[in-house]
Chain A
Amino acid sequence: MSHDHSLNPETMPQEPEKATLEGKNKFLGLWFFLGGETVLFASLFGTYLALRNSTAGGPATTDLFGLELVFVMTMLLLTSSLTSVYAMYQMKNNNFKKMQLWLGITALLGMAFLACELYEFYHYIHEYEFTFRSSAFGSAFYTLVGFHGGHVVFGLSWLIVLMVRNAKRGLNLYNAPKYYTFSLYWHFIDVVWVFIFTVVYLMGKVG
Chain B
Amino acid sequence: MADNIDTNKVNSFRKQKSKDEMKKQLISFALMIGFTIIAFGIVATDAIDKMFVVPLLLILAVVQVAFQFYYFMHMKDKGHELPSMMIYGGIFAALLTIAALSVIVWW
Contact = CB atoms under 8 A, between A and B. Distances in A.
Contact of A18 (B1, B9, B33, B79): B79
- Size class of the A contact interface (CB-based, 8 Å): 35 or more
A31 B87 contact: yes
A206 B47 CA distance: 11
Contact of A38 (B54, B79, B87): B87
A56 interface: no
Given A34-B87, A78-B32, A191 B68 contact: yes
B54 A39 contact: no
Name the residue among A16, A39, A67 with the largest chain B CB count within 10 angstroms: A39
Contacts of B44: 67
A182 B8 CA distance: 26
Q: How large is the interface on B (under 10, 10 to 19, 20 to 34, 35 or more residues)?
A: 35 or more
A128 interface: no
Contacts of A141: none
Contacts of B98: 42, 45-46, 49
Contacts of B73: 184, 187-188
Nearest to A190: B68
Nearest to A16: B5
A53 to B, nearest CB: 10
Contacts of A195: 61, 65
Nearest to B59: A198
Interface in A39-84: 39, 41-43, 45-47, 49-50, 67, 70-71, 74-75, 78, 81-82
Contacts of A92: 14, 18
Interface string B26-66: 10010011001001100110000010011001101100110
B90 A172 contact: no
A50 B101 CA distance: 6
B29 A171 contact: no
9 contacts: A32-B83, A38-B91, A39-B97, A42-B94, A50-B102, A169-B1, A188-B73, A191-B65, A198-B58
Interface of A: 4-5, 7, 9-10, 12, 14-16, 18, 28, 31-32, 34-39, 41-43, 45-47, 49-50, 67, 70-71, 74-75, 78, 81-82, 85-86, 89, 92-96, 169-172, 174, 184, 187-188, 190-191, 194-195, 197-199, 202-203, 205-207
